[in-house]
Amino acid sequence: MQDDQGIVTAGMVVIGDEILSGRTKDINIATTAEFCTDLGIELKEVRVVSDEVDAIVEAVNTLRARYTYVFTTGGIGPTHDDITADAVAAAFQVALPINPEAREMLESRWRKTGTEVTEARLRMARIPEGADLIVNSVSAAPGFRIENVHVMAGVPVIMKAMLEALAPTLKGGRKVMSVAIKAYVGEGTVGGPLGLLQQEFPDVKMGSYPQMGADRVMTELVLRSADEERLHLAAERVRAMVSDAHAKAGVELPTEQQ
């Protein structure tokens, strides 16, 4: 939920046996994570669950009570293993009728493409009662929003189009800014002093990311905060700490860093 400091949070549910078997590599988590960060929404948790109603219901109900928004991907196609709409209807304890607007979106597309209307295809027009549609500009079959839960396709290009479609309906949080600082020493060298600075700046989140496979040792320190002034103050202190570490280790900086 949104608290006094304007923090907006999200949880995500990725639905599909094909992700859990390794057959399909998920890229929707990264897309959603970047989307949330851009809007100032903190993505707090992601769950990948199988194509089982109970598993989906549990994940959706837990996360929708916990966060401002929930995004789900996958399981809204026309086949028997596409059970996301059923599960979300069950989670909200509402009916799952054919939605006339969704049906019209689909049939209008099918008329153009000469696609036969089958019972399987019409499954995609089943929308939980009380939900709004999320337009699918790619393949017409809509997603939907019910309360704070946004149900989207699993096919990445469609999922991305749906995120764009719903962006204007979401309230963003305070924009979190970040500063990245390169330390040309190992993570273990900066770890101690960075930990002390973190204690001094609890409102600036400090992360440390060793770079593997590069020509020389490098650790990227990333500072994140919604408070710009504190962020820059902390960044100054971290830069000074890194300079000390460089001097102590006799590090020669790459030309562009001098």
* CB closer to its own copies out of 6 and 191: 191
Query: Least CB distance from residue 191 to its own copies, whole Å?
Result: 3
Contact status, residue 67 vs residue 10, Cβ threshold 8 Å: yes
Q: Quick one: 50 or 148, whose CB is closer to its own copies?
A: 50
- To the nearest whole angstrom, how small is the minimum distance from the Cβ of residue 204 to its own copies? 12
Q: Is the CB of 172 or the CB of 195 nearer to its own copies?
A: 195
Our CB check for its own copies shows the closer of 39 and 149 to be: 39
Q: How far is the CB of 255 from its own copies (least distance, A)?
A: 25
Under DSSP, is residue 55 helix (H, G, I), strand (E, B) or coil?
helix
Q: Distance (Å, rounded) from C-alpha 143 to C-alpha 107?
A: 16
Contact present, 160 and 31 (Cβ < 8 Å): yes
Q: Which is nearer to its own copies, 47 or 150 (CB)?
A: 47
Q: Least distance to its own copies from the beta carbon of 45, Å?
A: 6
Closest CA to 71 of 92, 91, 45: 45
- 172 near 8, Cβ under 8 Å? yes
User: What is the contact surface with its own copies in residues (CB under 8 A)?
Assistant: 14, 17-27, 29-37, 42-51, 55, 77-81, 115-116, 118-121, 123-124, 155, 157, 186-192, 194-195, 198, 205-210, 212-213, 222, 224
**β-bridge mates for residue 224, sequence order:** 178, 205
Closest CA to 122 of 138, 91, 144, 100: 100
